Each structure stands twice: as structure tokens, then as C-alpha cells.
Amino acid sequence: VADDGYRLWLKYDRIQDAGLRKDYQKAAGFIASSGSSPILTTAATELQQGLEGLLGQKPPLVAPGSKTKGGILLSVDATANVSAGRTLGKDGYHIGRKNGSLVITGTTDAGVLYGVFALLRQLQTRQPLQNIDLTSSPKIQYRLLNHWDNPNGTVERGYAGSSIWKWYELPEHLDPRYQDYARANASIGINGVVINNVNASARYLTPEYIEKVAALAGVMRPYGIRVYMSVLWAAPKVIGGLSTSDPLDPKVKQWWTDRTNEIYRAIPDFGGFLVKANSEGEPGPQDYGRDHADGANMLADALGQHDGLVMWRAFVYKANSNGDRFKEAYQEFKPLDGRFKPKTLVQVKNGPIDFQSREPFHPLFGAMPRTPLVLEVQLTQEYLGFATHMVYLAPMFKETLDADTYAKGQGSTVAKVVDGSVDKHSVSGIAGVANIGSDRNWTGHPMGQANWYAFGRLAWDHTLSAQAIAEEWTRMSLTNEAPAVRTIADVLVKSRDIYVRYTTPLGLHHIMGQSIHYGPEPWLASSARPDWTSVYYHKADAAGLGFDRTAKGSNALGLYRPEVQQLWNDPQTCPPDYLLWFHHVGWNQQLSTGRTLWNELCTRYYTGVDSVTWMQQQWAAVQPQVDPELHADVTSRLQTQHKEALWWRDACVLYFQTHAKQPIPAPFAPPT
Ligand code: GCU
């Protein structure tokens, strides 16, 4: 089957190895399901279709109990416990063997669906089924994609075409793509979708749009996915005819309560609201002298008895701040800990600035024990080369998830803060800003699909390794030939570090082109606001480079626990990858790598570009194992990546040289 990327990782192409196919066929003679709810029907149908594709024969759906041996049984058991010490959580599943059949048990209907996809994954990656005994439960409860899609079809920071939602066709016409989208999400455990941009239009709260959103919810529901909305804080004024949107005003409260009830009448399983308020010019409760908690709590009250959440974003920073933007969200939100009502979660980006290619973890993680925090990561590559650079993001997500906050002693990782285990929260969430658009292959860059996939897998189980996910995705999406799988996974896993080297090595950040956020612009010195320039962040001068965030400087480091401070406080021992985040380092200062700062900087930029050449070579080597169309697509994008890596290197090295006033070191110096 020619591969245009549309089928993502859900390729059910015939398994070529006849012996293996036979083994699988023996195990999959029929499917019997214990129920016929919409989600269980989805599960049985997906399994049947998947097996038909992979094995070339369609197992019949039979009544439960009519056959016992040699088939697959789907069953729901809310209290299923696999064995001592191996309990299943909500939406968890177990796949095992019983009386000569495979049994997929879920604690909920959705658990069965996830189990079905897990079983198909076993076949897609050619794993044996003989002694299968798989137990898995999601570690994080709410696993959401956030779409930054606008009503006019554009996508903020989207690089894969326009929005997949065709608002003008809804609610009557349902593009079949919505269902494929839901399948893909369900297959990796995503159970919620915020359908619109955080810079929200008020239109979504009108009857006209509620009806459209309800139609989408209808497509998502059989896949265990709930829809959510981003809301504009000023909506009561913009569409409600009120003179205020003060959260403490009774008319405003009533307006939100009425809107919420109206939404739930149309969408009984509506997920809730995402709010960007008093951030980057968006309206918010502070416009009325109220704070974020006042705003979030008012919406929680509006939700009342409905089973929905408020996710309130902590991505805030003030215009013309003279301090350090790094500290602002912490300063605004930390004092509010304990004030948020139970249905309210605070959504925090992985790092303190804005989705840079490497950031230290956000200091709010571990600092708000009384508030469940949603981790927000970005799948769309706003600062990581759009859809032209191959950058596999799982290593970056893992770097944040595995970072130790020391909030309750060693091992209080960001992952454990987010999954609720550190502070014993019963609600937990994670959000990925989607990289999905109308492009035939969904993500523009074919390898961008791996980031969507990896997000879902890590949201489900943050202990999985970036390497294992890369191999799994490669097997399902590109090839099952072991040497090629190894080569591709290796390139993927190294790609993010390579990107960092040729763009922002050693902890440099926010030196990209203004507004567009593409390409280098380290010389940018003036903009609408100081913290939208490059020089604000890199602070290059005759003496050296980097932002001093120690006690001598902005003391942003002081926001972290002493153990974390200790890690980053001393420029001699601070890992080079984080160095310029926290220190202004002399050009001639010797780093732990044995080179001076200037030489190390040049070395990273130059070897970073060389590594892109290496990526090109590795990709060329797997050509026989990969679909020709897809291979050629990635090859051409790698050419652009190489050209732009040179652009980044030369722009940055030459610019910083105007401060360092030193020659480019010998191995890299251009011929004179
Ligand atoms: C970034 C991005 C904006 C976006 C914002 C946010 O600043 O450039 O387009 O709106 O993040 O997360 O709210």
C-alpha cells in the first residue's frame, strides 16, 4: 500500500511472515464482546478491522459464551485485579490467556478499547502472543490535546495546513476525518480534546457553535474522548450584552452558569473549560481587581454539579516587566495555592519561559501542593523548526517529567507532581498543544507524527522511555526490519539534542526570529516589549554571555528547592546544557568540557550542523526499508534542515563574535 502518511501508526497492512501470521491467526479465530455500548462496539470493530488487515482474514463477531477456545474475549470488570500487587486503575486493562483464548479485560469500556489497541500494537510490532500477560493503567487521568484552532480555519502556531475542523460545514456534515482523528487519539490513550485556541473567540459560546461542537462530540464519544472549550474571559461583554466580566458580579456568574447549562444540554459529557486570562493582552479577572483564583472558582461554580473541569493557565507575564520573566508565573500563582476549588486545575508549561528547545522545569511544579497542576507541552514545533526540522520531542518531555523538584524529598519528580502522587491529588492532567492540521499526513513533517504518538504514550505512562516509544512508533509507522528500526529510532532519539546544538546550545534561549519564531535573530534589541527581544535573554557583552539568575542576578534560581539550586547554582558544576540559563559566563572561562565558553559555543554550533549531515546519511541508509514517497518527503525536509542549520550556526556565531571578539577556533575556522 502506497503510504501518504494518512493512516498514521494505525497501519494494518498484511504481515508478510507466513509463519507468524499463522500463529496470530490461531489466536484470533473469533471475537466475543460482553457488551454492546458504543465504546465496546468501537473496540470490537477496530479489532476486527485491524486483524483483517494484518492477518488477511476477518474474525467473526460471535455471541459471548458461544465459543471459548482460540478467540479473543472482550470484557468489562470494574473490580478486575490481575493478581496480588497488580491492580488495575480506572480505564486500565489486562491482556492475558484463559481457557485457550485471549482475554482483554478493562475496568471500563474505555479500558477495553485501550486494551484492543494494545493487542493490535503487539501484532503491529510483531510480538509473540503465547504467554501474553500485559497490565496497564493510565498514570494520569486527563490526557488532552489542546488545539490552537480558530473559527476562521487558521491554526495559531500550526504548520500542517489549516484546521481540521470545518466549522462552516458543521453540524450537518461530518468530515470522515474526524473519526480517523478520534481513532488515532484513542489508540494512544488520549481522552480529551480542547477544540479551540487559548486566544479564544467568544463565538464558541453561542448557540450556533455549541451545536457544531456537539456534533464533534458525537464523533469523539464512541472513542472515549470528551470535548472541551477554551473560553474568552470577556465573553459576557462580547456576546452577552453585559457591561462587565467581573467574576464576582452576580450577573456575570449567572451568565456563565446559563451558558454552561446550555452546553451540557447539548453535550452531556462536555469536559470543561480551558482559560488563558490576563496573559499576552487577553482579558481576565485582574481587569476588575480580582485574581486568577476568583476567576477559576467562578467558572467552577458555573459548572456546578456537571462533571467538568476548569483548567486555568499559568502562562502569564506582564508587559514591560523590569525583572525576570522567568519568575512571573510563580510570583502570581504560588500565593494562590489553596484558594482553587476542587474542580479547578492550574495548567503550567513545561518551562518558565515558553516552549524553548530546552528549559529547566517550571518552578511552579512542586511549589503548589494544594493545587493539581496540569503539565502543558507543545507538540507543534513553534520554536523547534516548524514542519521542516526533524525533532523527536519525547526526550524533551522526559527531561521535564523526570526532573526532580525535591518538593517532598528526593524522587518528587515533575511526573509525580503531575500524576498527583506527590501531593495525593485525585485529579491529574496533562496537555499537548497539537501539531495536527489539514495536511494529508496530519502533521506536515511525516516524522512529526511521532511526537503526537509519543505524547499520548507518555501521558498514559510517563515511565516509558523515549527510545522504546521511538522504536514502537517506527515499527508501526515505517518498517519492522530490525536494523532499520534501530537506525531510525537512533536518529529520532538524538534529533532534539542536535537541534539544540545548532540553534541554542549551552542554555541559550529565545534568540529566534521575532513574532514568526523561526530562524535566528540573536541581535534583536528592540520590540514592543523588552522580554520579546533576544538581548534580554542572552545578555551578550564584552565580558561574556548568559542570564545571571543566581542570587547575584535575578535570583530566579531561588524559586527552586535547595537541592535544585545546588545543581545549577555554581557555573563550574552546572551542567553545560543549562549553563547560560543561570549564569553570565566569561568568554574565556574554562567549562567542564575542557574548552573555553567561546570555543565550546562554536564547537556546539559546528558539530550540530555536522550532525544534521549524519542524520541525512542515516536516513539515506534506510531507503530500501521505507515507503519511497515518504522517504523522499523526509529527505527533502532534511535538506532544508541542513540549510537552515547552517543559517542558525553562521548567524549566531558571527553575531556572538561581535561581542567575544575572538576568531572561530581552528577546526571550524573558515579558510582565509
Ligand atoms: C506562545 C505563542 C503564542 C501563544 C502563547 C500561549 O507565546 O507564541 O502564540 O498564544 O504561547 O501559550 O498562550
The tens digit of pLDDT for each residue in 503-558 reads: 999 999 999 999 999 999 999 999 988 889 999 999 999 999 999 999 999 999 99
Copy the grid coordinates of residue 293.
483564583
Q: How far does the centroid of ligand 1 lie from the alpha carbon of residue 441, in Å?
A: 24
Q: How far does the centroid of ligand 1 lie from the alpha carbon of residue 307, in Å?
A: 28
Q: Whose CA is nearest to atom 7 of ligand 1?
A: 354
Q: How far does the centroid of ligand 1 lie from the alpha carbon of residue 74, in Å?
A: 43
Q: How far does the centroid of ligand 1 lie from the alpha carbon of residue 648, in Å?
A: 23
Instruction: For each of the domains in the chain, give its residue range(s) and CATH number, in order of start.
Output: 18-136 (3.30.379.10), 142-465 (3.20.20.80), 500-668 (3.90.1330.10)
pLDDT of residue 81 exceeding 90: no
Catalytic residue among 133, 258, 280, 307: 280
Q: Is the CB of 199 under 6 A from ligand 1?
A: yes
Closest CA to 62 of 30, 24, 27: 30
Rounded (10°) angle between helices 109-124 and 38-55: 10
Q: Is the CB of 30 under 6 A from ligand 1?
A: no
Q: How far does the centroid of ligand 1 lie from the alpha carbon of residue 608, in Å?
A: 27
- Report, as an integer, the average pLDDT of 136-151: 98
Q: How far apart are CA 179 and CA 219, in angstroms?
A: 6
What digits encode the pLDDT tens for the residues 185-239? 999 999 999 999 999 999 999 999 999 999 999 999 999 999 999 999 999 999 9
Q: Which atom of ligand 1 is nearest to the CA of 197?
A: 10
- Report, as an integer, the average pLDDT of 347-356: 98
pLDDT of residue 320 exceeding 70: no
Mutate which of 312, 348, 350, 354 for ligand 1 pocket (most atoms within 8 A of beta carbon): 354
What digits encode the pLDDT tens for the residues 434-461? 999 999 999 999 999 999 999 999 999 9
Q: Which atom of ligand 1 is nearest to the CA of 157?
A: 9
Q: Which atom of ligand 1 is nearest to the CA of 433?
A: 12
Q: Whose CA is nearest to atom 1 of ligand 1?
A: 354
Closest CA to 220 of 110, 129, 352: 110
- Report, as an integer, the average pLDDT of 147-171: 98
What pLDDT score does 264 carry?
A: 98
Among the residue ranges 242-246, 262-266, 283-287, 526-530, the one predicted with the least confidence is: 526-530
Active site residue 324: no
What digits encode the pLDDT tens for the residues 267-306? 999 999 999 999 999 999 999 999 999 999 999 999 999 9
What pLDDT score does 602 carry?
A: 98
The secondary structure element, H or E, covering residue 134 is strand 134-136
Mutate which of 274, 382, 512, 531 for ligand 1 pocket (most atoms within 8 A of beta carbon): 382
What digits encode the pLDDT tens for the residues 16-58? 999 999 999 999 999 999 999 999 999 999 999 999 999 999 9
The secondary structure element, H or E, covering residue 55 is helix 38-55
pTM greater than 0.95 = yes
Q: Which atom of ligand 1 is nearest to the CA of 148?
A: 10
pLDDT of residue 79 exceeding 90: no
Q: Is the CB of 354 under 6 A from ligand 1?
A: yes
| ipTM associated with this complex | 0.99
Q: How far does the centroid of ligand 1 lie from the alpha carbon of residue 327, in Å?
A: 17
Q: How far apart are CA 489 and CA 486, in angstroms?
A: 5
Q: How far apart are CA 309 and CA 329, in angstroms?
A: 21
Query: For residue 611, which phi and psi values (nearest 5 degrees)?
Result: -70, -30
Catalytic residue among 382, 399, 531, 548: 382
What pLDDT score does 288 carry?
A: 98
pLDDT of residue 86 exceeding 90: no
Copy the grid coordinates of residue 581.
540559563
Which residues share a beta bridge with 62?
32
Q: Is the CB of 529 under 6 A from ligand 1?
A: no
3-state secondary structure of 596: strand
What digits encode the pLDDT tens for the residues 637-651? 999 999 999 999 999
Copy the grid coordinates of residue 41.
462496539
Q: Which atom of ligand 1 is nearest to the CA of 349?
A: 12
Mutate which of 315, 374, 512, 517 for ligand 1 pocket (most atoms within 8 A of beta carbon): 315
Q: Which atom of ligand 1 is nearest to the CA of 198?
A: 13
What pLDDT score does 84 carry?
A: 64
Q: Which atom of ligand 1 is nearest to the CA of 382?
A: 8
Burial 168-180 (b: 16+ CB within 10 A, else e): eebbeeebeebeb
Active site residue 258: no
Confidence band, pLDDT 50/70/90 cuts, at residue 318:
confident
Q: Whose CA is nearest to atom 11 of ligand 1?
A: 354
What pLDDT score does 17 carry?
A: 97
- Report, as an integer, the average pLDDT of 327-342: 97
Establish how many alpha carbons lie within 13 A of residue 514's alpha carbon, considering only the half-sphere containing its beta carbon: 15
Q: Is the CB of 75 under 6 A from ligand 1?
A: no
Q: Whose CA is nearest to atom 12 of ligand 1?
A: 315
Q: Any residues with CB less than 8 A from the CB of 514 and at least 6 apart, and which?
A: 521, 524, 527, 532, 533
Q: Is the CB of 276 under 6 A from ligand 1?
A: yes
Catalytic residue among 149, 291, 332, 354: 354
What pLDDT score does 112 carry?
A: 98
pLDDT of residue 85 exceeding 80: no
Angle at CA of residue 447, ends 446 and 453, nearest 5°: 110
- Provide the 10 A C-beta neighbour count for residue 120: 21
Burial 488-512 (b: 16+ CB within 10 A, else e): bbebbbbbbbbbbbbbbbbbbbbbb
Q: Which atom of ligand 1 is nearest to the CA of 156?
A: 9
Q: Is the CB of 156 under 6 A from ligand 1?
A: yes
> What's the whole-number average pLDDT of the chain?
97
Q: How far does the centroid of ligand 1 lie from the alpha carbon of residue 281, in Å?
A: 11
Confidence band, pLDDT 50/70/90 cuts, at residue 1:
low
Secondary-structure percent of the chain, ordered helix, strand, coil, rounded to 5: 40, 10, 45
Q: Is the CB of 419 under 6 A from ligand 1?
A: no
Percent of the chain with pLDDT over 70: 99
Q: Is the CB of 490 under 6 A from ligand 1?
A: no
Q: Is the CB of 198 under 6 A from ligand 1?
A: yes
Q: Is the CB of 315 under 6 A from ligand 1?
A: yes
Active site residue 332: no
Q: Is the CB of 49 under 6 A from ligand 1?
A: no
